[in-house]
Amino acid sequence: MPDHQRRVWRAAPATLAVVTAFALASGVAVPVLAYLVYLRDRSPLIPSLLGVLTLVALVYAWRFGLHPRLIVSDSGLVVRNPFSTRRIDWDDVTLVAPGENGLIIGTEEQQVEAWCIQKSNYATRRGHRTRADAISHRLLDLLDERDPGVEHPATGLRIRRARPDESELLARMERSAGEAELSHVFRPETYAYPAADVQHRWTRILHDRLVRVRVLEVSGEPVGFVAFDADTVRHLGVVPGQTRRGYGTALLEYATREIFDSGAPEARLWVLTANETARAFYRFHGWADTDELRDCEFPPYPEEVRLRKRNPSAPRRSRVR
């Protein structure tokens, strides 16, 4: 991003107007009041206290209303809050999402909130788009310009970064993929699909700075997804009608490559023991079963087995002779 595109965001215009009015009132009205009190009583005590109050009010208005800002340039982001300044390189950014206390910007090492850009819980609960959503999308657009993901223009295939407001899309794709492949495990006539729980889980994942979520699109249409962290593929799926076209392979290879490139000695994932189709798919791509078992998080809590795939670039332990 060229330097001439440097952008600075402060608090919302309405907030700035209120803070400015408060500062003017504090800086003018209170000193006038102090002077009138002094003329009446000829005592410096109360005017002095009012002067101190004016100073405190002006400092408060500046530090909490006018000082906070988010500065974006080609080198990265600078978050200025009342008592701290954080600089973040673009290459380190893993999360940008609206938050109640400020725009959330995360890396693998830290999470920062830009106080000048907030989204209320009221707006979040009702799904309202706000200034915070627009700014987060703008920052993600800039991030995508630097790291566009995987694109194959000839086939229309693209693996892109998921946006923080796409929990409904991801939950819908997961449901369609799961109901098509796992009806023999989660029988719909007995166990209702936990749609709300799944969407809430995706909301949490999309706001987790340590988890990366990617969506696979074909000609602009979302057909698959993958979520992974430093060493584990957490979720992967392709919607019905788009399977057996290599999309699942593309997502798995993308996530595995990212995990291996970060230096993890092996990649891991959990799969339902009864999901033979998925287990065969993973085995075909070099994943091996382990002895680790656990219960699934949703009723009837079927068994899951952990699979692993070794990083071919990781150093192997030497044999003891």
pLDDT of residue 2: 47
- Give tens-digit pLDDT for 235-286: 999 999 999 999 999 999 999 999 999 999 999 999 999 999 999 999 999 9
CATH of 148-310, one of 3.40.366.10, 3.30.750.24, 3.40.630.30, 1.10.3720.10: 3.40.630.30
Cα three-residue angle 277-282-287, rounded to 5 degrees: 145
pLDDT average, residue stretch 52-79: 90
pLDDT average, residue stretch 109-117: 96
| Contact indicator for 177, 128 with CB cutoff of 8 Å | no
pLDDT of residue 321: 38
Average pLDDT, the chain: 92
pLDDT of residue 60: 80
pLDDT of residue 48: 87
pLDDT of residue 4: 47
pLDDT of residue 319: 43
State yes or no: pLDDT of 320 exceeds 80. Answer: no
State the SS3 of the chain. Answer: CCHHHCEEECCCHHHHHHHHHHHHHHHHHHHHHHHHHHHHHCCCHHHHHHHHHHHHHHHHHHHHHHCCEEEEECCEEEEEECCEEEEEEHHHCCEEECCCCCEEEECCCCEEEECCCCCCHHHHHCCCCCHHHHHHHHHHHHHHHHCCCEEECCCCEEEEECCCCCHHHHHHHHHHHHHHHCCCCCCCCCCCCCHHHHHHHHHHHHCCCCCEEEEEEECCEEEEEEEECCCEEEEEEECCCCCCCCHHHHHHHHHHHHHHHCCCCEEEEEEECCCHHHHHHHHHCCCEEEEEEEECCCCCCCEEEEEEEECCCCCCCCCCC
The residue extents of the domains of the chain are 1-147, 148-310
pLDDT band at 45 (very low <50, low <70, confident <90, very high): confident
State yes or no: pLDDT of 317 exceeds 80. Answer: no
CA-to-CA distance for 310 and 190, rounded, in angstroms?
Answer: 39
pLDDT average, residue stretch 183-201: 93
Q: Of the candidates 155, 162, 63, 151, which has an alpha carbon nearest to the alpha carbon of residue 115?
A: 63
CA-to-CA distance for 266 and 154, rounded, in angstroms?
Answer: 33
pLDDT band at 1 (very low <50, low <70, confident <90, very high): very low
pLDDT of residue 246: 95
- Specify the higher pLDDT residue, 163 or 315: 163
Is the model's pTM score more than 0.75? yes
